[in-house]
Chains A and B, each alone.
Chain A
Amino acid sequence: MSNSQNVIPIIVSTAPPSRPPDDQEDALYEVRKKIYPRAVTGWFANWRWLLVFATQLVYYGTPWLTWNDRQAVLFDLTARKFYIFGLVFWPQDFIYLTVLLLICAFSLFLFTAVAGRLWCGYACPQTVYTEMFLWIERKIEGDRPKRIKLDQSPLSMGKFGKKGLKHGLWIALSLWTGFTLVAYFVPARELFSQALSFGVAPWETFWIFFYGFATYGNAGWMREQVCKYMCPYARFQGAMFDRDTLVITYDYTRGEPRGSRSKSTDYKAKGLGDCIDCDICVQVCPTGIDIRHGQQYECIGCAACIDGCNQVMDKMNYPRGLIRYSTLNALEKHADWREMIARVFRPRVLIYTGILWIIIIAAGVTLWNRVPVRADVIRDRTTLAREVSGGELENVYRLQVMNTQEHVQRFSVGVRGIDGLKVYGVQQPLEIGPAASKMFAIPLRIDMDAAPKGITRIEFDITAVGADGRPAPDVFSLHEKSSFYKP
């Protein structure tokens, strides 16, 4: 061992130790300034509204769909069964939930790599509910300038009425959102009639208000702060970005030097760029940033500034796209959209796509080949091997069967492994009801002399029985290992 390993280098700092300010929170967290996003119309705003309608139609509508005389999508936690249209999932199917989450995660990675924060800008519940809450706010209080004025004005009957109405509608929408969430776990129709007669069970009531309060708080009050301070995706999405990812960009070389001017001015002669410094892009921004400062982590990619700027460009008779979706590479090289599309097929995107397809295909195949019945055999340890009349030895097994289908299943139980071993006293075929789980006691008997001493491996065969009473192994045929014991 050399001596050098024992030497710990110590660097003496000569700088005076810095003291954090007394109230650290003041230093760490800037005070939030309320943001009054201005209404915006245009191509991207329409897309966002389309997604608001699509996602909320699914969210609010799904609990009311019926399938096989029951709620089509019901996560019945109290019965520990999940119904999703024709499928019934048991806790044993946990793997499918994991796979679903994996698919969601890789889809998100893929979308992010190609087009940045598409999820944030158009489909995230935080964006969607904020959009809905803002719409209510705008209908009651007016657009940005009116809202700012209203907030600055002293409390009056008019202001009180407007604010009261706004919050009333917000709360109503929030409670309906909370109700809908709970309706995924408790049958919606029952819950609705209970709600009408104020007879909702305490925990269900609690969760309706809990989720309602979260909606009201997040979409009404917190808004962009959720994205800035609470969202983990907002923090790590940068890892999926590269120089070919579509982001919302301000064309600096075209826009600068910015400055106000009248429409008739020959601005180029005055040395001005295309940006007229109208501040619309800042006013429409739901997170209150100025896109002209370049890429910022607060930008949720909602493209409101693109819509706003394009309208201004139209009014000025300048070409659109001073603020536009572009990539850092394209912006630098002045590449057109063809080159941008060509760069979509880069290794990162191909790898994400490949992994995603592998998971989707694997999940599809396993779901397609899913056995309609699950079985589990355990030797009953409470009744050990015993000798019964006629010189026979008996072991008793507990057969747990779960039906993942919504019709009755019939099946027979047989056993292999020892010659002469047979199922005794069980009325075959056995039957299990729709989406049920049932325990059967299966005694096995064998001639005392034919039974090998000690523990012998055996295998149960659980085979479907068709309507004609004959075995139908193509429906399902399960093999469960167990052991037979002779003392």
Chain B
Amino acid sequence: MLRLTISILWPSFIAAGIGLGIIFTLVDPMELVVLGEHVRASRSAIYSLGFFVLWAITAMAAAMSAFLLTGKHPGDKTLGGEGD
């Protein structure tokens, strides 16, 4: 279970970090408009929260992949079974 958790959280952590870097290089968080309102928070708060939002999304994608690969499926021999 620990390894499954790690293999979901770790790659998504890296992906979120890269995503955050790209987004906030291009966009100044002070110019962010969320639902029509300027965000009233410090840049470091937006960077940090932005990172966790991204991490949650990327982790969700990784978790879905993990579920699709390890979840039982009739006749599935590609992964989890004995096949390669």
Contacts and interface: CB of A to CB of B under 8 A. Distances in A.
B3 A80 contact: no
B80 A230 contact: no
Contact of B44 (A18, A20, A203, A232): A203
Contact of B10 (A17, A25, A203, A230): A230
Contact of A91 (B26, B42, B74): B26
B82 A229 contact: no
Contact of B42 (A18, A25, A78): A78
B62 to A, nearest CB: 13
A19 to B, nearest CB: 8
Contact of A203 (B11, B48, B75): B48
B48 A25 contact: no
A91 B25 contact: yes
The dominant DSSP class at the B interface is helix
Nearest to B72: A20
A17 B77 contact: yes
Contact of B80 (A17, A24, A91, A201): A24
B43 A77 contact: yes
Interface in B52-84: 70, 72, 74-75, 77, 80-82
Given A91-B25, A204-B44, A230-B10, A24 B70 contact: yes
Interface in A91-108: 91, 94
A437 B48 CA distance: 25
A94 B25 contact: yes
Contacts of B47: 77
B32 interface: no
Contacts of B45: 203
B72 to A, nearest CB: 7
B28 interface: yes
Contacts of A18: 77, 81-82
A78 B6 contact: no
A80 B6 contact: no
A341 interface: no
A29 interface: yes
Given A17-B77, A20-B80, A229-B3, A80 B28 contact: yes
B28 A25 contact: no
Interface in B18-51: 25-26, 28, 42-45, 47-48
Chain B CB count within 10 A is highest, among A78, A201, A206, for: A78
Q: Of B7, B42, B74, B81, which is in contact with the most chain A CB atoms at under 10 Å from its CB?
A: B81
Contacts of A207: 48
8 contacts: A17-B74, A17-B77, A19-B81, A28-B80, A203-B48, A204-B44, A207-B48, A232-B14
Given A77-B43, A229-B6, A229-B7, 12 more contacts: A17-B77, A18-B77, A18-B81, A25-B1, A28-B80, A77-B44, A80-B28, A203-B42, A204-B44, A206-B48, A207-B48, A230-B7
Interface of A: 17-20, 24-25, 28-29, 77-78, 80, 91, 94, 201, 203-204, 206-207, 229-230, 232
